[in-house]
Amino acid sequence: MNGAGASGDAIAPLDPLDPLDRRIINALQRGLPLVPRPYAAAAAALGITEAMLLARLRALLDAGVLTRFGPLYQVERAGGRFVLCACHAPAARLEAVIAAINAHPEVAHHYARTHHLNLWFVLAVARPEQVAPVLARIAAAAGVEVLPFPKEREFFVNLYLPA
C-alpha cells in the first residue's frame, strides 16, 4: 500500500511485519485510550501521526496480517448472548459456507480447523431467545448443520500475542 495520508505521511510498502507494525499491534492489543481522539492519542504514544497509524492499520487488515480490528463487547452484560458454534463444511464448499455464515451480522468471527467440525464461529445476539432462529437461518443459508456450544462458565485469559 503506497500513498500519502491526510497529513502527507508517506506509506512505505508493507513488509510482512516491520518493526513499526509490531509496535502498533503490541500497543493496540492493550486497548485504545478513552479520549475524544483515541487514534491520535495512540499514535502520539507510538511517536507517529494519527494518519500514519490509521494507514498502517488499514494496510495490516488489507494484507490479512490482521483479520479484525475493533472492540470486544461483553454482550451478556447488556442482556445478550455469545454462543460458540461449529459445523462440518465439505472441503469443496468451504469458502461458500464461510461466505454464507459471515453474511450474517450476528457472526463475530470464524476459524477453520483440521477436524470433522472444521468451521467454528462465534454468534453474538442481543437477546438469548434470538440464538435458535438465527442459527436456523445460518444453517439454511450455509446448507450445513450448525452445532451450538453455549458458554457454561467464563475464563478470562487476558490474551496478549506479542507481534
Calculate the average pLDDT of the chain: 86
d(CA 23, CA 110): 26
Range with the largest mean pLDDT of 29-38, 46-55, 75-84: 46-55
The answer to whether position 134 is within a domain reads: yes
| In the block, residue with C-alpha cell 475524544 | 36
What is the total count of domains within the chain? 2
Report the predicted TM-score, pTM, of the whole model to 2 decimal places.
0.61
Structure confidence at residue 28 (pLDDT) = 92
DSSP codes joined into one string, 54-104: HHHHHHHHHTTS-S--S----GGGGT-EEEEEEE---GGGHHHHHHHHHTS
Range of the domain at 95: 75-150
- Domain CATH number, residue 127: 3.30.70.3460
